[in-house]
Structure 1
Amino acid sequence: MSRPMDRQRLGQLLIAGGIAAALLAGAAATLVLQAQRNWQPEVSGPVLPGWTQTVADAREIEIAGPEDHFTLVRGENGWTMPSRDDHPVIPERLAELDAFLGGLSYAGARTADPAKHARLELADPGQPGAGTRLTLRDGDGNVLTEIIIGAARNDRVYLRFPDRPRTYAAELTGEAATIPAISLADNWLNLDFIALDPSDIARTTITPERGPAYVLERPGQTARNFSLREPGGWRPITAGAGNGPAAALVRIRFRDVRLADRLHGEPAGRHVEETFSGLRLTLDILALGDTRWTTVTATALTDGGAEKAAEINARTAGWAYLLSDLSLDRLLRPLDEIADHMGASDASEPADDSGQ
């Protein structure tokens, strides 16, 4: 009886010993892994050595940010964005990116724990706490360099390389003192090129989507408010009711851009502003589903407006621009939102043209 019991106890002890050994091995492995993640190797020098040659060889830049994903391509006419019908990108933005990446120098290694990547905004694109991944390729599609840019804190930026857990801090110095605005496609496109001087706007004609067309005008640059010149039978709600739509082009930023001949929209209105300096800007608005796009045409009314008109037309010829709801409201505000229609007994009274 004692021998079977001894063998049973021995088996239990062996099993318990095996479990303990496995747990010990697991704990040791965990400690080793944790030590590897906490260990910070010494690093120094440029983050991207040979950057000058990389830039010379690059023919494509893929940018995957937290909110956007797009590609820039280098062709005979410079860098363009294929997803925007090969619209040119802002050269200054490329110079900023060049200075930023070329000027990064290691300040030290940081965590290698993937669970902590999001804290540094270095998670993979599409994940919470994602960074901005940049991939440069040559003309054959070979990857020249690939890097993820994360948070910037205290004159340093955090970064890592894809498929590697180790993160790093890099110094931001000189021309690379700030991270350029590169993660959104519209930051690469010059979409706020219209900015008229508010004191220079003389006359605005608006054809809204509903209601009659109307004309707002100022007698001179010192006049504070625009007067309603046409049509008759309407009185502005306030003296300055027309100022917003009349000066909509003082500052406008479009939301996107496409080749105009690809947008088969229906005419939805027109906004025309004329300046005292001799420039006319015409925005023809197109309805494309629930969105509104516009073409932009400049006309020189005097010799003084010729240079500016040529500059704008060179930029806008063949392109259509997406309007925000706010911009659309100002450009095509219906007349009944800024003026009251007068009754028959008041119809003979002139529209307010005091300019006060």
Structure 2
Amino acid sequence: MTKPSLTPGDLKRRDVLIRLASVCAGGVGLSYAAQTLKPGGRPGEQKSGKVFPNLAKQASNVTRISLISRSSQFELVKAEAGWVLPQSDFHPVANNTLSGLIKALTDVRYVRTLPPPTQLDAQVSQIAPLKGGDGVLISLETKDTAQVATVTLARRGEMTLAQLKGDEALYEISTVDWPPLDSPKAWLDLPKFDIAPERIATVELIRPKQNRLDIVRRPDGGFAPVGGTPSPIVTDIALILSRLEPQAVMAATKLRGAPAFSHSTSLKSGLIITLDGFESAGRFWVKVRTDTSKAASPEEGERWTTQTSSWAYAIPPSFWTQLMTPTLSLLQASP
């Protein structure tokens, strides 16, 4: 059968249809490629912008923050006088650490949705601590227990992963400055015993059944025991206050009885700061006392009293060993 010949008009219409078909096919291909090349791989899973866009407005309503990891579990609670840590006898929380967490949660943004894990990498992708993962679960609640923000965070190299409540997907999120999330101590507003060594004039160490040890500053700036020879251990005892970093804190009322030692540091300004030592529950603690009666500027001592008078602070065992060394051994210690 002979094919009918095409007129010039037919040829023109055919060319137009071919071009339209090509454009449509290209559009479909581009659309498919755009979906398959999106980070995360699944259309509909993509999220963008801030992870908690309303947190800035809701932060003032938060009254409880819980942090759970494989190694620790603790809460921060908003009391009348400010935020406290209940498990440390309601000791005040450091404001800068708390504000750092709120800022980080407010600023963090989605980067991409991660593909679902395979059986081979499921263990690596598990971040929920309640399921054995290595992440930290953070939950912010209001007074009526309404959850303002809940997220589990974990690190994978330079990448930060997040998993939201009720969402099995994992997201990569932007890098922000997170405070320490799995250490209760990092949240406490502990005193900084950073008394400069050059401010120390004399040190007195009193222990039951031991002679008193007096330590004085030498002309060269070092320290020596009265009636004995200079030695490293005596210098260490003289500088205890300037090197003390509390390991933990509890209410001072829990420590009863007479102290095992009293270590008094007299500053050149006349202020005297005394550490009274106690042993309790296998740890070593000190209470802090200040004497401003001879201080040129009593304001410093008053600040110490306000911050420390209700609390006892855990000290390292090495400090306790030094402070319990017999007086005769300290006087005869080798230079």
Q: The TM-score by the shorter chain falls in which range?
A: 0.7 to 0.9
Q: Does the alignment pair 1:157 with 2:149?
A: no
Where does residue 133 of structure 1 map in the other structure?
137
Question: 1:4-24 CA distances to partner (integer Å, 9 max, x unpaired)?
Answer: xxxxxxxxxxxxxxxxxxxxx
Q: 1:240: how far off?
A: 4.1
The answer to whether the Cα contact below 8 Å between 1:226 and 1:240 also exists between their aligned partners in 2 is no
How far off its partner does 1:210 sit?
Answer: 6.9
Q: In structure 2, what is the equivalent of residue 53 of structure 1?
A: 57
Contact 2:204 2:265 in 1 (8 A): yes
Alignment of 1:1-356 (within 5 A): 39=42, 41-113=45-117, 116=121, 119=124, 122-125=127-130, 127=132, 129-151=133-155, 153-154=157-158, 156-172=159-175, 176=176, 178-208=177-207, 211-219=210-218, 223-229=220-226, 232=227, 235-236=228-229, 238-264=230-256, 266-300=258-292, 302-340=294-332
* 8 Å Cα contact 2:266/2:272 also seen in 1: yes
Deviation at 1:135, TM superposition (A): 0.9
What SS does the corresponding residue of 1:329 show, helix, strand or coil? helix
Change (3 A) 1:152 1:92: farther
> How big is the shift at 1:65?
2.4
TM-score (normalised: structure 1)? 0.74
Shift of 1:121: 7.3
1:243 CA displacement = 0.7
CA contact (8 A) 1:191 1:255 kept: no
C-alpha distance in 2 between matches for 1:125 and 1:216: 53
Deviations 1:200-253 (A, max 9, x none): 111111134774331111155xx3321111xx4xx33x5444111110111211
The answer (yes or no) to whether the contact 2:240–2:319 under 8 Å persists in 1 is yes
Q: 1:316 to 1:146 in 2, by over 3 A?
A: same
Q: Secondary structure at the match of 1:267?
A: coil
2:5 alignment partner in structure 1: none
For the 8 Å contact 1:209–1:268, the answer to whether it is kept is: yes
Deviation at 1:96, TM superposition (A): 0.6
Once residues 114 and 200 of structure 1 are traced to their aligned partners in structure 2, the CA distance between those partners, rounded to angstroms, is 62
CA contact (8 A) 2:151 2:162 kept: yes
Secondary structure of 1:54 counterpart = helix
Amino acid at match of 2:63: R
Could you give the per-residue CA deviations for residues 77-136 of structure 1, whole angstroms, max 9, x where no partner exists?
Answer: 111111222111001111111111100011111143386465367232472x42111111
* Aligned mates of 2:250, 2:172 — CA distance in 1: 39
Q: Whole-Å Cα distance in 2 between the matches of residues 310 and 241 of structure 1? A: 31
TM-score with structure 2 length normalisation? 0.78
Do the aligned partners of residues 50 and 265 (structure 1) sit closer, same or farther apart at CA in structure 2, a change above 3 Å counting? farther
Number of aligned residue pairs: give it.
294
Distance 1:110 1:227 in 2: 64
**8 Å Cα contact 1:120/1:151 also seen in 2:** no
| CA distance in structure 2 between the aligned counterparts of 1:183 and 1:137, rounded to whole angstroms | 19
Q: Secondary structure at the match of 1:338?
A: helix
